[in-house]
């Protein structure tokens, strides 16, 4: 480490600070930022294990987002409650914690990291941003005694990291707003065109099928006319959430506009898509939705299907074909599903 007797920060370290700040502010991708933080930790401190925990605000738990060093794989999937162990204490108090001897500190016993042998000492620092603590940097079993200068260096890393993480999360939230429908919480039509274009190219390259279901709620105008637009919007939100629940994990749900929805069935051929759509539509129409005012309503939907490559390889072909088949259902019997 640098000569601590000097009153000035060595030029070499100033360059490191500059490179660190530049690296952390050059990307808004959270995974890239976390990897950069970990790389800097490894360069600055020799230790057996480095880890960065992120705070899940909903559950008030910390999870190991990234780790490196001996037995780092043992940390995958582990969670720490706020207030428990070293990391939990750091988040709760917003302070750095240095434990030179694990046996003398009960918080280390609470931390017990399964699969990681003999944690004898640790350093934990909060990642504090404008909106509070974002996470914790942990260093287990550093190989040399940490000087005040080294600790100060780590604090600079933690401060830069917290700002970068907070900025990345803010950007992610803004991006989510631009692709999300306000009423239903589903993806919007703008995002549909982006995702469908990307998936069609991927499926063409890998020679995989893809199907799309276009749903229109039958006679939905009557709901607005009889019960008002507030009830209509509430029912749309219920229907959107129900479609999301009925879809498979790999599928994507979108609100196309008005009372129309789209479900993108990835890596699914025409036959399988037809069976899935029939089951989904039946379950949707069997669902009774309870409104905030106590009113109970049901919906019926007409569905048109299209598949790639059979119905085309372009966005407008896939959407247009499914839309045309949906309208064919509406002009015939309503409440049914029509494929090729």
Residue with tokens 């750091």: 90
SS3 category, 304: strand
Does 165 have pLDDT greater than 70?
Answer: yes
Please indicate, yes or no, whether the overall pTM of this predicted structure exceeds 0.95. no
CATH number of 189-338: 3.30.70.270
Summarised one tens digit per residue, pLDDT across range 178-207 is 888 989 999 999 999 999 999 999 999 999
Q: What is the DSSP letter of 247?
A: S
% of the chain residues with pLDDT over 70: 88
Q: Specify the pLDDT at position 229.
A: 93
115 — pLDDT class (breaks 50, 70, 90): very low
pLDDT tens-digit readout, 16-45: 666 667 766 776 777 887 788 777 777 777
Considering only 158-162, 172-176, 319-323, which range has the smallest mean pLDDT? 172-176
Enumerate the domain spans of the chain. Answer: 11-177, 189-338
Closest CA to 192 of 260, 255, 277, 280: 255
CATH number belonging to the domain at 11-177, selected among 3.90.1150.60, 3.30.450.40, 3.20.20.70, 3.40.50.2020 = 3.30.450.40
Q: What pLDDT does residue 1 have?
A: 47
**What integer is the mean pLDDT of 143-158?**
79
Residue 14 CA, chain-centre distance (Å), reads: 35
Radius of gyration of the chain (CA): 27
- Cβ atoms within 10 Å, residue 206: 8
Alpha-carbon dihedral angle through residues 322, 177, 63, 251, given to the nearest 10 degrees: 0
Contacts of 306 (CB under 8 A, 6+ apart): 211, 212, 214, 312, 317, 318, 319, 321, 322, 325, 340
What mean pLDDT do residues 263-281 have? Answer: 96
H or E element in which residue 105 lies? none
């Amino acid at each position: 480490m640098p000569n601590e007797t000097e009153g000035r920060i060595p030029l070499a370290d100033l360059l490191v600070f500059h490179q660190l700040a530049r690296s952390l502010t050059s990307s808004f991708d959270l995974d890239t930022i976390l990897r950069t933080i970990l790389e800097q930790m490894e360069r600055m401190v020799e230790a057996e294990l480095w880890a960065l925990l992120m705070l899940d605000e909903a559950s008030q738990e910390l999870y190991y987002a990234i780790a490196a060093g001996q037995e780092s794989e043992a940390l995958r999937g582990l969670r720490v409650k706020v207030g428990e162990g070293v990391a939990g204490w750091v988040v709760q108090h917003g302070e750095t914690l240095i434990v030179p001897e694990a046996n003398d500190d009960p918080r280390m016993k609470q931390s017990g990291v399964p699969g990681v042998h003999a944690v004898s000492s640790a350093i934990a620092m909060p990642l504090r941003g404008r909106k509070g603590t974002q996470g914790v940097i942990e260093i287990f079993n550093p190989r040399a005694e940490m000087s005040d200068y080294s600790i100060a260096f780590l604090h600079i890393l933690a401060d830069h990291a917290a700002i970068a993480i907070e900025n990345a999360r803010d950007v992610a939230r803004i991006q989510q707003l631009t692709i999300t429908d306000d009423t239903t919480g589903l993806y919007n039509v703008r995002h549909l065109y982006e995702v469908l274009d990307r998936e069609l190219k991927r499926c063409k390259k890998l020679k995989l099928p893809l199907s799309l279901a276009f749903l229109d709620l039958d006679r939905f105008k009557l709901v607005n006319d009889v019960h008002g637009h507030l009830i209509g919007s509430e029912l749309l939100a219920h229907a959107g959430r129900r479609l999301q629940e009925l879809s498979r994990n790999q599928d994507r749900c979108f609100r196309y506009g008005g009372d129309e929805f789209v479900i993108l069935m990835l890596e699914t051929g025409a036959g399988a898509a037809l069976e899935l759509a029939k089951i989904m539509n039946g379950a949707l129409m069997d669902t009774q939705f309870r409104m905030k005012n106590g009113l109970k309503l049901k919906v019926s939907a007409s569905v048109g299907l299209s598949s790639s490559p059979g119905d085309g390889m372009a966005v407008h072909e896939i959407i247009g074909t499914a839309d045309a088949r949906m309208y064919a259902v509406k002009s015939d019997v309503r409440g049914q599903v029509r494929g090729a």
